Structure 1
Amino acid sequence: MGRPRTPLLDRRRIGAAALRLADEKGALSIPALAKALGVAPSALYHHVAGRDDIISLMREELALVTGDDQDWSQPWEQSLEGWARSYLAAFAAHPGAVPLLATAPLAEPFMHAMYEKVAVLLLDAGFATKEVMPLITALESFVLGSALDLVAPPVMVSDVARDTTPHLSAVLDQTPADRSRATLAFDLGLRALLTGFRDLLRP
């Protein structure tokens, strides 16, 4: 038989398969990824340097499928809100990958380019240079947690005894017992974060 017209593997295919595997299994390993792709583990190393390189490809795949249509010309609060919402949508589509993507070093130039835009946005808004990365980290941490909350059970606090926790019971009575709970929490939390950011600019 002749050689296939197209390579069996390429970096784009590896990144997409790794995302799917993380979603399905909540973990990533070279043997499992090779099996999912129908190749021997050694074949992967013709295209990637190792696990960190694969996670980088997962980030790149996520960026490719979500696009970068963020309007950074808006006032800083609207730009940050739009970024947070697009970030949430991307991670919510791949919740199993969140722990991997959130803890691996960000060495990719395309990620650096995105952070450059956010840094310029915040510096131009008047935030101190030393505040910028903590603000970005705080917002990202909130988005990552919210992405996990979107795929958590609709009711997270259950079997509450009304006689011993009457105030908690009253609060839960006013909390939706469906997926909208997570959306409401994200909307309120994002508003609170941006309000807190704004307070840092006040003299």
Structure 2
Amino acid sequence: MARPRTPLLDRQRIVQTALRLVDEAGDLTMPALAGALKVSPSALYHHVTGRAEIVALMRAELVRVIGERSLWDRPWDDALRGWARAYREAFAAHPGIIRLLATAPLAEPFMHEVYERAVVTLEAAGFAREEVMGVITALESFILGSALDLVAPAVMVDAVDRAATPRLADALAAVPAGRHRADQAFEVGLAALIAGYRVLLTGDRGPGAVAGHPISDQA
């Protein structure tokens, strides 16, 4: 029997199929991936060590399109805006992967390098070391929610009774149509986050604030 001219399986094909499966099912198993590729599960292990490596490869595929190293050469606020926008678009293309990646530890050296550049930029801008990871994590949490909002139904608040909630009805009527709704919400939220981060830099956190905690929980 003649061999196929192109390999039946390679790492790129595995990653692309895994992304499709996660988009459809929100999870990934080796048997399901093997079935989608029409190979035996053992065949996958000739190319990858297991599920953890596939998750890492999917993360690498997304990070590849998030931006160049030069992104972090910009002023900190411009860098965060650029990162947030690219990050959101990348995850919006594969919304099913958000839960999977958000709960998988960042063990890959290439991800450590991404965060290293972010930390260097933020510390150089004057953010306190103990607050830098909080700045990054808060931004990422917002980005992931915004990515899901991009693929949410066009109308998330429906069947509003204008007589009972007239102000809500008017506010909803003022929302832009289509993708513009999600884009507007994202840009409003991003501007608010950046403004809040500037407060961290100036130290003007308001009454009762303590270092590392903008709003104190003490009486």
Counterpart CA distance in 2 for 1:45 and 1:12 is 14
Counterpart CA distance in 2 for 1:96 and 1:84 is 18
2:210 corresponding residue in structure 1:
none
What is the SS of the residue equivalent to 2:34? helix
Offset, 1:2: 5.3
1:96 corresponding residue in structure 2:
96
Offset, 1:127: 0.5
1:44 corresponding residue in structure 2:
44
**Larger Cα-atom Rg:** 2
Identity of aligned residues (%): 62
2:193 corresponding residue in structure 1:
193
Offset, 1:5: 5.8
Q: Which residue identity does 2:89 align to in structure 1? A: A
Q: Which residue identity does 2:194 align to in structure 1? A: L
Does structure 1 residue 130 correspond to structure 2 residue 130? yes
* Deviation digits for residues 30-65 of structure 1 (CA, Å, limit 9, x no counterpart): 111111112111211233333222111111222335
* Deviation digits for residues 125-184 of structure 1 (CA, Å, limit 9, x no counterpart): 100111011111100011111010000011110111112212211211211242211110
Does structure 1 residue 176 correspond to structure 2 residue 180? no
Q: Is the 1:21–1:28 contact (alpha carbons within 8 Å) kept by the matching residues of 2?
A: yes
Q: Is the 1:15–1:60 contact (alpha carbons within 8 Å) kept by the matching residues of 2?
A: no
Q: Is the 1:12–1:61 contact (alpha carbons within 8 Å) kept by the matching residues of 2?
A: no
Q: What is the total number of aligned residue pairs between the two structures?
A: 203
Counterpart CA distance in 2 for 1:64 and 1:131 is 27
Where do 1:96-115 residues align within 5 Å? 96-115=96-115
Offset, 1:111: 0.7
Q: Is the 2:76–2:122 contact (alpha carbons within 8 Å) kept by the matching residues of 1?
A: yes
Relative to the length of structure 2, the TM-score reads 0.86
Counterpart CA distance in 2 for 1:29 and 1:194 is 38
Counterpart CA distance in 2 for 1:83 and 1:67 is 7
Relative to the length of structure 1, the TM-score reads 0.92
Greater relative contact order: 1 or 2 (C-alpha under 8 angstroms, separation 6 or more)? Answer: 1
Q: Which runs of 4+ in 1 moved over 6 A?
A: none
Return closer, same or farther for 1:16/1:65 CA change in 2, 3 Å cut-off: farther
Q: Which residue identity does 1:8 align to in structure 2? A: L
Counterpart CA distance in 1 for 2:86 and 2:119 is 17
What is the SS of the residue equivalent to 2:156? coil
Could you list the runs of 5+ residues in structure 1 that have no partner in the other structure? none
2:209 corresponding residue in structure 1:
none
